[in-house]
Structure 1
Amino acid sequence: MSETPSPEIRSFLLDLVAELGPGLLAASRERGDLTAKSSFHDVVTVHDEATEAKIRDAILTRFPDSHFLGEESGWSTVDGPSDGPGDDDLYWLVDPIDGTSNFAAGWDYWCISIAAVRGGELRASAVHQPLTGRTWSADDNGAYLDEPSRPTRILQVDTTVVPRDGLCMTEYPSVRVARDDSALVRWRDAAAQFRSMRRTGSTALDLCFVADGSGIASFSTGTNPWDVAAGIHILQKAGAIYESYTDSIPTEPVWDGPEYIAAASQACLQVSRTAMGL
C-alpha cells in the first residue's frame, strides 16, 4: 500500500484537532474529578481519557494499518493492545491534553498534541491550543501557524537571536526529577542571561513558542515521547535546534530522551546546556 503524503496527514490532523477543540475548551471550565498517576503532581482527568479515545478512533479509522501510542492508553492498533510498531510502520504519538494540571485548575496553557512517525522520521504533526484557536503544524515541507482570521504563517526562527532578546520556557528544576541544589544555582545563572524565564506547564506549547518566535529557548527533564514529538517536528522544520538526553547521554530518536533543550540559536543553546549541567 502506498504511503500517504505528509501534507495529507497534516491536513487530516488540522481537521481533527479543530473538531476536538471546542468541546475540550468547554470542559476546561468545569472542575471535574482528578486521579493521581505517579504522584499528586501527575494527574489525569476523564477528559484526557475520553479525548484520547476519540483521537485513537479517528486515526485508526483513517489509517487502519498504523500503531497508536497515547499517554493514557499505551500502544494499540485496530485489533487492540500491541507491542509497538515495526521499523517501517506508521505510528502516532499522542497527548490528548498536554498541560493537564493547568487544564484541571482552569488555567488556559494546555493543548492537544499529535505526531505521526514513519521509518524513524517525524512526518506530520499538529499542536492545537483551543483557547486561542491557534494550531502549529508541520509536514515534510515546513512548519506553519494557523490563527483565526489570519493567513497561514510559514515558521522560520531567527538563528542569530541571543538570550537577552527573548523568553526561555522551562520546567527545570522540578520536584518530579531529583536534583541537588546546584540546579537552582544554574537556573538562576540562566535567568540572568535570558530576558525572562517562564514556567508554563505545557512542554508542547513551549516548543511551539520557540518555533514561532514567541520564545527563544526551552529546556526541561522528565518528558515522554507524547509530550515532545509534535513540538520537536514543528520547531525543527522551523529551523530551531533540538537535543535530547538520557542521564546526560545524547538520545535517538530524540523524542525518547527525557531531558531536552530546544533553542533558536547556538547562543541560546549554550546557555541552556549550562543550565542543565551538560
Structure 2
Amino acid sequence: MTQASLHPMLNVAIKAARAAGSIINRASLDLDILKINTKSPNDFVTEVDQAAEQVIIETLLQAYPDHAILAEESGRTHGAKHSEFQWIIDPLDGTTNFIHGLPVYCVSIALAHRGIVQQAVVYDPTRNDLFYATRGRGAFLNDRRLRVSKRTRMGDALIGTGFPFRRGDNFKRYMKIFEEVSQQCAGLRRPGAAALDLCYVAAGYYDAFFETGLNPWDIAAGSLIITEAGGLVGNFTGESDFMHQREIVAGSPRIYGQLVQILAPYTRVIKADDEAAAEAQPAKPSAADVLAGAAEAAPKKRAAVRIKKTAGDQQV
C-alpha cells in the first residue's frame, strides 16, 4: 500500500509512531544522562518512555478526541474512556535494550474497535523500519507486502521467544518449555522486544514465536500484522483469546500447529486473584478492561484457530 492509500486512522498512528521514534533516537545519542526508574525488579521505565508516550497520546487525541487510549506507562486510560474505539500503546518496547544501547526496541500502536484490533503500527526507529497493517488489507514492511515463512518442519524452524523476568513469573515452567522447544527446532532467539518479534514472524524472519506474561500493549499491534501476513496467533492451547491469557503463540500455520502441540501442556491456569479481579469489575466492562484481561477467558476449544472477522465486525 502506498501512503496515499492508507486508512486515515492508520496514517495518524504512523505519524504518532514516527514522532515517538524521533524522541527515542535523540535520547539514544546520550544515554549517560538518562533518568531510569524501576517499576519492579528488572522492569524499567525511563523519561524517554514517558515522553514518547505523551507525544503519541497528544497526536492521537488531537485527531480523534472521542477515542479511548490504553497506554503502558501512564497506567490508565485517556480520552473518552467508554468509546468503542481504543488505541493500545507501548511507547518503547524493549526498554532494557534501549538503556544498554542495544538497538533492538520499537514503538507499538494498535487501534481496536469493540475489542477487535483493526489498525496496527510497529516502528523500529534504529532501522527506520515501519511495520503496519489494516484488517483485511494485508501487512507491510515499509512498502513491501509481508508473508509468513513457508517452512513446514519444526526441525527447520527458527523460533523467537522471551524469557520471564518479573518477580512472580514461573521461571521453572519456562525452563521446561525452553528445553523441549530448543531440542525440536533449528534455533531459539530472544532479542527482547516482543512487538518486534511478532513482526519478525510476519516478515518470515522467524517461523514462530511464543512468550508468557505479556500485556495487551505488547502484542495488540503485532498480532494483527501476523494474521494479515497469513500467520496464526493464539494462546498455548491454540485458542484465540490470547489477549486475556498472558501467553501467546504465533507462527506460520504449519509451524504454529506443531508448536501448540508442544506448549499446550504448559498452558497457564488463570490464578484465583485474576478471577477475583474479574468478578470485581462492573457488569459492563470498558474496552480497556476487556483488553487488559479483566474479562474472563472465552470457552476452551482445543483446535488451532485462525483469527477471522465475524459478520458483526466492522471495518474501520
TM-score category (smaller protein): 0.7 to 0.9
TM-score (norm 2): 0.75
Deviation at 1:121, TM superposition (A): 1.5
Partner of 2:131: 136
Alignment of 1:129-278 (within 5 A): 129-140=124-135, 141-146=137-142, 152-174=143-165, 176-179=167-170, 181=172, 183-244=174-235, 250=239, 252=241, 254-275=242-263, 277-278=266-267
Task: Give, as a single letter, the amino acid of the residue that structure 1 aligns with 2:199.
Answer: C
Partner of 1:149: none
Partner of 2:49: 48
- Structure 2: how far apart are the matches of 1:63 and 1:96? 18
Say if 1:261 and 1:273, in contact at 8 Å, map to a contact too: no
Secondary structure at the aligned position of 2:152 is classed as: coil
Partner of 2:71: 70
Q: Which runs of 5+ in 2 are unaligned?
A: 268-316
| CA 173–275 in structure 1, closer or farther in 2 if over 3 Å, else same | farther
1:113 aligns with 2:108: yes
- Structure 1: how far apart are the matches of 2:201 and 2:244? 20
| CA 7–189 in structure 1, closer or farther in 2 if over 3 Å, else same | same
* Count of matched residue pairs: 259
Partner of 2:9: 9
More strand, by proportion: 1
Deviation at 1:138, TM superposition (A): 0.4
Say if 2:238 and 2:260, in contact at 8 Å, map to a contact too: no
Partner of 2:28: 28
Task: Give, as a single letter, the amino acid of the residue that structure 2 aligns with 1:36.
Answer: T
Secondary structure at the aligned position of 2:147 is classed as: coil
- Structure 2: how far apart are the matches of 1:8 and 1:179? 42
Task: Give, as a single letter, the amino acid of the residue that structure 2 aligns with 1:235.
Answer: I
- Structure 2: how far apart are the matches of 1:249 and 1:271? 9
- The worse-fitting range, judged by mean Cα deviation, of 193-202 and 161-170 is 161-170
Task: Give, as a single letter, the amino acid of the residue that structure 2 aligns with 1:100.
Answer: T
Say if 1:176 and 1:222, in contact at 8 Å, map to a contact too: no
Partner of 1:85: 82
Task: Give, as a single letter, the amino acid of the residue that structure 1 aligns with 2:225.
Answer: I
| CA 188–173 in structure 1, closer or farther in 2 if over 3 Å, else same | farther
Task: Give, as a single letter, the amino acid of the residue that structure 1 aligns with 2:159.
Answer: C
- Structure 1: how far apart are the matches of 2:210 and 2:100? 24
Say if 1:164 and 1:194, in contact at 8 Å, map to a contact too: yes
- Structure 1: how far apart are the matches of 2:164 and 2:51? 31
- Structure 2: how far apart are the matches of 1:10 and 1:168? 29
Secondary structure at the aligned position of 1:181 is classed as: helix
Alignment of 1:93-108 (within 5 A): 93-108=88-103
Q: Which runs of 5+ in 1 are unaligned?
A: 147-151
Identity of aligned residues (%): 30
| CA 63–158 in structure 1, closer or farther in 2 if over 3 Å, else same | same
Deviation at 1:236, TM superposition (A): 1.0
- The worse-fitting range, judged by mean Cα deviation, of 162-171 and 190-199 is 162-171
Say if 2:148 and 2:251, in contact at 8 Å, map to a contact too: no
- Structure 1: how far apart are the matches of 2:187 and 2:151? 18
